[in-house]
Amino acid sequence: MTEKTFRKDEIIFHEGDVGETLYQITGGTVGIFAHYGDVVAHKLTELNKGQFFGEMAVIESYPRSATAMAIDEVSAVEISSGEIMDYFRSEPDKIIDIMKHMSARLRVLTNDYTDVSEAIEELHLDRDEKPAETLMEKIRKFADVYKLHKNASDIISVETKRKIAQASHSEGYTKGSESFSKGTVIFKQGETGDCMYDIHSGKVGIFRAYGTPDERCLAELGSNSFFGEMGLLEDDTRSATAVILENGTTLESIRIDDLKDLFENNPPKLEMIMAHMSYRLRKLTNEYLSACRLVFNIHDASASGSVSSELKQKAGDFKAKFYD
């Protein structure tokens, strides 16, 4: 771990670089840019004291997805991939900080993906009519997102999937588990959550609008899967309902106070949780950009007055994927 200082406008790392370090800002402001240096360069966000950046590349051994630049003079702690566990041992509160940071990014991305999915549904419903101006604003927004990111890699780290699935989650130290019967509702959409879950055996369904005529199953999750982490890490409501699909399904519930305990007694479990969150972020980013591409293609075709039946069918067949 090294304290680093960066001058105003200095590049900390470039998009596409191999990531071997993450950073926590101790002073100053860092800008995160897509396509920095190009005509279409776009500032994604600004980060300030206490915030992390560069963590996904380290957790997944994946190329940097954006460029980081010092907006003003910046000081930051640089942590290499081989030092993360030592860093957490010296400052265990940072375990929760970095996971909350990743969860907040996941929440924002989930909201963006919900918006583009709704826009596609509106496009399908209104495909023979001129879209309302509010819908046109959405279309222009998501078409611009696609144009900005159309060259982004859609490769998902195989190593990350292996980290999540290679070992049984019930091995080693756990916080205790409970068995449930088919049909048990673990949590409801709209409820405030205080824990996440690790499936040791059996199957769980993730539903939108569960128990209503609009019910839709977003995913079926099997053993060695995590779910519900945003409810654990943020003071926010559940975005879906989780229901047991098989008798005898066994779940381990993990609360925020358990994370340090897990780190002390079963570090690989904590690594798997972080890898799961990083993988979800990358996967959802790819789904979001794919949806923006569909909106862009429809918008582009509409401008020339030639929306094909194939494009209309794709809009009609589009199904949002929030879990994978």
Per-residue three-class SS string for 165-217: HCCCCCCCCCCCEEEECCCCEEECCCCECCEEEEEEECCEEEEECCCCCCCEE
- Of 93, 109, 91, the closest CA to residue 44 belongs to 109
Q: How confident is the model at residue 235 (pLDDT cuts 50, 70, 90)?
A: low
57 domain residue, yes or no: yes
Q: What is the mean pLDDT of residues 83-93?
A: 83
Domain termination residue (choose one: 224, 256, 288): 256
Domain extent, residue 23, equals 2-87
pLDDT at res. 35: 73
pLDDT at res. 6: 97
Q: What is the mean pLDDT of residues 242-265?
A: 91
Q: How confident is the model at residue 24 (pLDDT cuts 50, 70, 90)?
A: very high
Higher pLDDT, 308 or 64: 64
Q: Which residues pair with 180 in a beta bridge?
A: 249
Q: How confident is the model at residue 324 (pLDDT cuts 50, 70, 90)?
A: very low
Number of domains in the chain: 2
Q: Which residues pair with 297 in a beta bridge?
A: none
Domain termination residue (choose one: 87, 115, 145): 87
> Residue 60 is part of a domain; what is its CATH number?
2.60.120.10
In this structure, which amino acid lies at residue 230? M
